[in-house]
């Protein structure tokens, strides 16, 4: 019975940890601020900040990538989290040709 009590305390504690902390980035809503053909490179930089990665596309575009990792509560448990739980990786890819946005793509990948 004591074991069950301690397990409930740990679950409650982890739930509280999950609700606290700094505000998180929301790439889905930030993607809505970008408009193909209208938004400039400078505006994207002011809205989203420094990209996490910059690459050159095969068609001559410059691609800016922004990432955000969301981990569920189980994934945050020390030592055990490596084996259980899931995480989502949000990706926002913005492509430029010259100074204008030519493409904006948002997607999520799940991994265990």
pLDDT in tens, the chain (112 residues): 666 666 666 666 666 555 555 567 788 888 898 999 999 999 999 999 999 999 998 888 999 999 998 877 666 666 666 666 678 899 999 999 999 999 999 999 887 6
Q: What is the CATH number of domain 24-111?
A: 3.30.1450
Which helix (H) or strand (E) segment holds residue 63: the answer is strand 62-71
SS3 label, residue 84: coil
Domain ranges of the chain: 24-111
């Amino acid at each position: 019975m004591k074991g069950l009590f301690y397990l409930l305390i740990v679950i409650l504690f982890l739930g509280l940890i999950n609700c606290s902390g700094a505000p998180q980035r929301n790439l889905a809503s930030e993607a809505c601020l970008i408009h193909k053909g209208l938004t400039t490179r400078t505006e994207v930089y002011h809205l989203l900040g420094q990209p996490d990665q910059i690459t050159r596309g095969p068609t001559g575009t410059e691609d800016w990538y922004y990432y955000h990792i969301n981990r569920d509560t189980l994934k945050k448990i020390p030592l055990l989290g490596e084996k259980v739980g899931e995480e989502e990786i949000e990706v926002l890819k913005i492509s430029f040709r010259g100074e204008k946005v030519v493409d904006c793509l948002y997607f999520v990948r799940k991994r265990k």
